[in-house]
């Protein structure tokens, strides 16, 4: 469900600096917990650091989708407002530390992430925590359907990309719920990458020209889904999503909220206006390097996706777009 949009249009590009500052601060804060096998502490550190930056954001931001409800997560809960009020209104989707287990165990793939959009344009999943997703690059836009079998999806994407199925690289999270899906993809001849978590990172591997995947399938979190949709919209790819409750309590709450678990949402329904996505590396990997000491400062690498462009930024300060964007 979308909230009513404001009449005055917000140029989200004016928020690039605060998005980068937020993910940078979260990444540096969680860095102290890398390898300490305490994912909750790492997540809390990232969230608090990001919240402090957002408190000074120019304008008024509304967290449409965060990591927890107010009673369970005192920071960046759904519906919370941030900012100094002196500037544009904007929507926020946030996961201060994607890959908490990766951070705790010092495995590649953890990063701080956030998405900003025009006010009233981010889809709110209400009490839905999980969603089924398909993400494809721009060349495969319009050829996928959540009603298709995995085999038909592979065939359609392979045809659109001009390659045989046995050259397709598919990202599916390594979860018990995906055992049959993974088996069918393998039997069809595709190569399947199965990270333990991190479907935003998996989607970026699909979307980026330098990425190492052609397709993402499977069930992941709704915050990650909305943030992914922001990147998909900015880069011209394609995405479909559908609520996929994993427990009866979640399904009952969705029904009580008047939402339809069978409805398929397009990317433009998940993000209905201009949006940007930002991420900063925490433990390194193929997308972003880990923060490192450099001449007495901590140098971090971030990625900014906005207006059809992907920019990589190496920075140490709170406002990294004051130089260093390339």
Binding site as annotated, residues for Mn(2+): 43, 67, 95, 98, 224
Determine the Cα–Cα distance for residues 201 and 181; give it in Å rounded to an integer. 20
Residue that the structure tokens 């599916």 belong to: 172
**Binding-site residue set:** 43, 67, 95, 98, 224
Q: 174 near 195, Cβ under 8 Å?
A: yes
Two structure tokens written together for 135: 């993400």
Q: What are phi and psi of 82, to 5 degrees?
A: -135, 170
Two structure tokens written together for 247: 């427990």
Determine the Cα–Cα distance for residues 55 and 112; give it in Å rounded to an integer. 17
What is the sign of the dihedral through the CA atoms of 4, 8, 10 and 11? positive
Determine the Cα–Cα distance for residues 154 and 157; give it in Å rounded to an integer. 5
Q: Give me the DSSP letters along 265-286.
A: EEHHHHB-S-EEEEEEESS--S
Residue that the structure tokens 């029904």 belong to: 255
Determine the Cα–Cα distance for residues 280 and 320; give it in Å rounded to an integer. 11
Q: 303 near 285, Cβ under 8 Å?
A: no
Two structure tokens written together for 245: 């409750």
Task: Tell me the CA distances in angstroms from 235 to 51, 139, 172, 301, one per residue in order.
Answer: 27, 11, 21, 20
Cβ neighbour number for residue 283 with a 10 Å cutoff: 24
């Amino acid at each position: 469900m979308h909230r009513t949009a404001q009449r005055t249009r917000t140029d989200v590009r004016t928020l690039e600096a605060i998005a980068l500052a937020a993910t940078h601060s979260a990444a540096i804060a969680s860095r102290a917990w890398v390898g300490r096998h305490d994912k909750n502490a790492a997540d809390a550190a990232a969230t608090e650091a990001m919240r402090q930056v957002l408190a000074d954001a120019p304008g008024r931001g509304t967290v449409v989708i965060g990591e927890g409800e107010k009673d369970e997560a005192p920071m960046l809960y759904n519906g919370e407002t941030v900012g100094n009020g002196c500037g544009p209104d904007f929507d926020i989707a946030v996961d201060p530390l994607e890959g908490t287990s990766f951070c705790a165990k010092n495995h590649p793939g953890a990063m701080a992430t956030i998405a900003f959009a025009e006010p009233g344009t981010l889809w709110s999943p209400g009490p839905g925590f999980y969603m089924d997703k398909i993400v494809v690059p721009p060349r495969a836009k319009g050829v996928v359907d959540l009603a298709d079998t995995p085999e038909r999806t592979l065939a359609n994407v392979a045809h659109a990309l001009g390659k045989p199925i046995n050259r397709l690289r598919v990202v599916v999270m390594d979860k018990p719920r995906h055992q049959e899906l993974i088996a069918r993809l393998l039997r069809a001849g595709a190569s399947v990458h199965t990270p333990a978590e991190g479907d935003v990172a998996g989607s970026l591997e699909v979307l980026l020209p330098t990425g190492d995947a052609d397709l993402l399938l499977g069930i992941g979190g709704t915050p990650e889904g909305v943030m992914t949709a922001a990147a998909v919209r900015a880069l011209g790819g394609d995405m479909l999503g559908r609520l996929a409750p994993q427990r009866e309590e979640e399904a009952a709450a969705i029904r009580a909220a008047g939402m339809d678990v069978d409805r398929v949402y397009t990317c433009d329904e998940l993000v209905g206006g201009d949006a940007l996505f930002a991420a900063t590396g925490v433990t390194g990997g193929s997308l972003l390097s880990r923060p490192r000491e450099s001449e007495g400062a901590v140098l971090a690498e971030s990625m900014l996706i906005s207006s059809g462009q992907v920019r990589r930024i190496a920075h140490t300060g709170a406002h990294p777009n004051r130089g260093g964007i390339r």
